[in-house]
Chains A and B, each alone.
Chain A
Amino acid sequence: MTSWLLRRLIQALFVVLAMTVIVFLGVNVIGNPVDILISPQADQAERARAIIALGLDRPIWEQYGTFLWSAMQGDLGKSFVFNEPALRLIASRMPATLELAVTAVLLSIVLGIPLGLYAGLRPQSLGGRLIMAGSIFGFSLPTFWVGLMLIMVFAVQLGWLPSTGRGQTETLFGVPWSFLTRDGLAHMVMPATNLALGNIALVLRLTRAGVRETLPMDYIKFARAKGLGPARVLFVHVMKNILIPIVTVIGLEFGSIIAFAVVTESVFAWPGMGKLIIDSINVLDRPVIVAYLMMIVFLFIFINLIVDLLYTVLDPRVRLDSRE
């Protein structure tokens, strides 16, 4: 167990290192921040001063060295725009994204699993077919389009739900949260649904496929031959088996939801990391972009680790020690 964890951490370290190189180089190729950050009216001297102040005059490998050195001390540079440590900037926007992502994941669990169970148990029924047909929309409609439609119907036409921002927040552990107030919750409904849609479809289909695959197994028939009731058979014997792929996918999707909250946050002007990164890309605020990408890498590695751990809890056949 510990040796497995150690091995995983070393692997993770290499992944992070590789990512720093890729991210740093990638960001230096998209454009020259000097043109954007310094007004065109500025004279040569002013330009030169700004370039030196931002460290943009030194060769790329040196910039990378500095970047890596400070990164190891938790300093990913200051935002050109906000003149604030990039990491702190990201961290301050993270709760907004996290509460949106967690809500979206919860939605895909509480809607996706029951719908998938139903469609799996009654594949021929009208309900089962409708669910499957509906899930195709969840997959194929583009997020931004669904977001705009939601706004048009529920905010513009019906006027039921607010469409921009986080609404009223309440502070908990020194962080403002929307889900603690009625107004904040109302503001979350549309963006969270928008973000969850693809995932509901995914979880639903996985659940249905799992049920269809598990039901004909001998051990299910044996469970019934033992005299167990349908609830016990479904929620223990079937569920415990299909939870393995579902947990894996939900775990991995959680990372993607955070990474791709970009679109939803832009549509609903939700002040999270996604909106911040779009704004930063527009002005080529390199430290923020780098900090954001690094944050996402860390998040994915962390989530993968958790998923692997959960996996071993759910599936007794997987032993951490014997795995490479």
Chain B
Amino acid sequence: MTHTLQVEGLSTHFDTRAGLVKAVDNVSFHIDRGEVLGLVGESGSGKSVTGFSLLGLVDSPGRIAAGRILFQGGNLVGLPEPELRALRGNRIAMIFQDPMMTLNPVLRIDTQMMETVHAHANVSAAEARTRARDALGQVGIPSPDERLHAYPHQFSGGMRQRVAIAIALLHRPDLIIADEPTTALDVTIQAQILAEVQKLARDNGTALMWITHDLSVVAGLADRIAVMYAGRIVETGSVTAVLDRPMHPYTAGLIGSVPSRNRRGTRLRQIPGMTPSLIDLPEGCAFRTRCPRADAACARDPQDSHPTADRTLRCFHPHLDFEA
């Protein structure tokens, strides 16, 4: 069976004045129909750039330098703009990080929704409006008929994000890229939206890529996890496997820094040091300068290994020694 999305060796580089920024560097992962992949990593690790690469929306001076993005078997890299445009918002939809900034402040909600319908479906204005209203209802916006006439500033942050999600759902996409859509919202609304999106994705068989820096979000939502560090994916696997038995020292450090109930009273361990600048990354493993297990071998680039069938790992000295 072909994966809904299969990314192979994707590299997205920014050619800046200060130097070449390898924001995404030789990244591979896949997502199946109805599956939720959590893409986790610190700020600046390249999560958003990965998401934008999938849609062909990398801002200049960025460009996809290498790799393949197979969407339902077809490669999106190098696809002509009109063909990419036909997929965007239609088969692949994206929800952005900051709901306060995603909707155009001077256009009414109905305009912004109906134009999305019309971009991919040749239907009457009345039909487009009906679809827009139904989508608003679907994401739990009360009295959607009236709300269609409102402007973004008349909505709260949580409601705006629901509108953005409704827009993403308009064409029942096969893949939704959700770029930290709940980070800017308060916790209760965050939980509601998480639950709703998960349900919608399950019901429609949508593949969902959920980008976040928050491990606890992923724990309750995702089927599988990909951990990203300095533009590279260092570990992937099922949520339970990765969270219970992190093998990569960075993943282990991340998990150690999350407060949790059963470790109450023990000190939270911080990963020492800072996220490196992507411009002059150290040779070899990018985590080398902060890694407690680093040694001379790590000065070379670690390659992907598969400790178990459904896991990938990029490390010379992983934690393989778990005392069950």
Contacts and interface: CB of A to CB of B under 8 A. Distances in A.
Contacts of B151: 316-317
Contact of B104 (A229, A237, A244): A237
A8 interface: no
B116 A237 contact: no
Interface of B: 52, 55, 57, 59, 85-90, 93-94, 96-98, 101-108, 115-116, 119-120, 151, 153, 164, 167
Interface string A209-235: 000000011110111111111001000
19 contacts: A218-B98, A221-B52, A221-B57, A222-B94, A222-B102, A222-B164, A224-B57, A225-B89, A227-B88, A227-B120, A228-B116, A229-B119, A240-B107, A241-B105, A241-B106, A315-B106, A317-B105, A317-B106, A317-B151
Contacts of A236: 107, 115
A229 B89 CA distance: 12
B50 to A, nearest CB: 14
A225 B153 contact: no
| Size bin of chain A's contact surface | 20 to 34
Contacts of A222: 94, 96, 102-103, 164
A236 B106 CA distance: 10
Given A219-B102, A222-B94, 8 more contacts: A216-B59, A221-B52, A225-B89, A225-B93, A226-B116, A237-B107, A316-B151, A317-B105
Contact of A227 (B89, B105, B106, B107): B89
A71 interface: no
Contacts, number: 78
A296 interface: no
Contact of B115 (A219, A228, A244, A315): A228
A232 B115 contact: yes
Contacts of B59: 216, 221
Given A221-B57, A227-B120, A316 B153 contact: yes
Question: Which 4 A-B pairs have CB atoms at the shortest separation, nearest pair first?
Answer: A227-B89, A226-B89, A218-B101, A227-B88
A232 B115 CA distance: 9
B89, B93, B106: residue with the most chain A Cβ atoms closer than 10 Å: B106
Contacts of B116: 226-228
Given A226-B89, A240-B104, A218 B96 contact: yes
A227 B168 CA distance: 11
